[in-house]
């Protein structure tokens, strides 16, 4: 049964129950429509004993949650973690660690690079996940029951995927390879957008040098303005 956590008291109780967990399966739902930074809307967590969806829009103080996500004794299990880690980094400037990324683990176990979560769940668990809410409005409240179930599935099956991939990599002697690759993804510097480097996302390497200089200055101004007003950079000036 999935718990919906929507009060500070419920979050504090959940954090207490998560204390000492050897691993936590983790996922997020967020919106990135009219803002520079993604708006975190829901955090899904699962262990052997529980499945919970945390309504972060209903709780002002998320400190109990982040205390558990930043516990170095608890492994954080995510699939294709890059976007989730970026969104969580924007909350308090830190990255949950240590990390077990099941997409990276799957590649080391013989799957294609960047295998999708649904494909992995079907292959490892024999379950076909619905795709009903891939473009849902996660900021709406109250969340419909079917959306909560959909969000919870992202961690319900992640538990079994984690166990199976961990065992496969252990048998192959590749767990150290996974740790090395995942360690590269938990450096907070990877998730900071430096305005002075914003030009790099635009290319422009074949422009004449004076034009490259102007491009760099304009891209830096656009990035700073987008950050200041929390609006998509494309709303400031289109690429």
Q: What is the pTM of this model?
A: 0.90
Query: pLDDT means per 10 residues in the chain (239 residues)?
Result: 97 98 97 93 97 97 97 98 96 94 98 96 93 80 94 96 98 98 92 92 89 95 96 95
Which candidate, 155, 156, 154, 132, places its Cα nearest to that of 144?
132
| DSSP bridge pairs for 45 | 26, 52
Collapsing DSSP to helix, strand or coil, 54 comes out as: strand
| Cα–Cα–Cα angle for 162, 166, 167, rounded to 5 degrees | 120
How much is the pLDDT for 221? 97
31: part of which helix (H) or strand (E)?
A: strand 23-31
Q: Which token pair is 115? A: 């295998």
The residue behind tokens 């065992």 is: 167
- Please give the Cα distance from 73 to 19 (Å, whole number): 10
* Number of other CB atoms surrounding residue 133 within 10 Å: 17
- Please give the Cα distance from 160 to 34 (Å, whole number): 36
Which candidate, 135, 165, 164, places its Cα nearest to that of 150?
135
* Phi, psi torsion values for 40, nearest 5 degrees: -70, 130
CB neighbours of 213 closer than 8 A, spacing ≥ 6? none
- Please give the Cα distance from 32 to 53 (Å, whole number): 20
End-to-end Cα, the chain, rounded Å: 46
Half-sphere exposure of 3 (CA within 13 A, CB side): 17
């Amino acid at each position: 049964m999935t718990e919906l956590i929507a009060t500070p008291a419920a979050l504090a109780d959940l954090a207490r129950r998560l204390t000492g967990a050897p691993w936590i399966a983790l996922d997020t739902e967020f919106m990135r429509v009219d803002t520079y930074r993604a708006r975190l809307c829901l955090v899904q967590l699962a262990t052997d004993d529980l499945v919970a969806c945390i309504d972060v829009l209903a709780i002002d103080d998320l400190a109990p949650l982040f205390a558990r996500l930043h516990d170095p004794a608890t492994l954080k299990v995510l699939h294709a973690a890059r976007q989730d880690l970026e969104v969580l980094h924007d909350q308090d400037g830190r990255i949950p660690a240590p990390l077990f990324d099941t997409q990276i683990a799957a590649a080391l176990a013989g799957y294609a690079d960047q295998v999708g979560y649904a494909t992995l769940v079907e292959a490892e668990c024999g379950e076909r996940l619905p795709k009903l809410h891939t473009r849902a409005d996660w900021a709406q409240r109250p969340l419909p029951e079917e959306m909560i179930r959909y969000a919870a599935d992202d961690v319900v099956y992640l538990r079994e995927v984690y166990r199976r991939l961990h065992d496969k990599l252990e048998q192959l002697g590749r767990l150290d390879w996974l740790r090395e690759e995942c360690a590269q993804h938990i450096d907070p510097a990877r998730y900071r957008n430096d305005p002075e480097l914003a030009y790099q996302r635009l290319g422009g390497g074949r422009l004449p040098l004076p034009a490259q200089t102007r491009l760099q200055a304009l891209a830096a101004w656009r990035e700073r303005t987008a950050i200041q007003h929390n609006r998509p950079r494309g709303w400031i000036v289109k690429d």
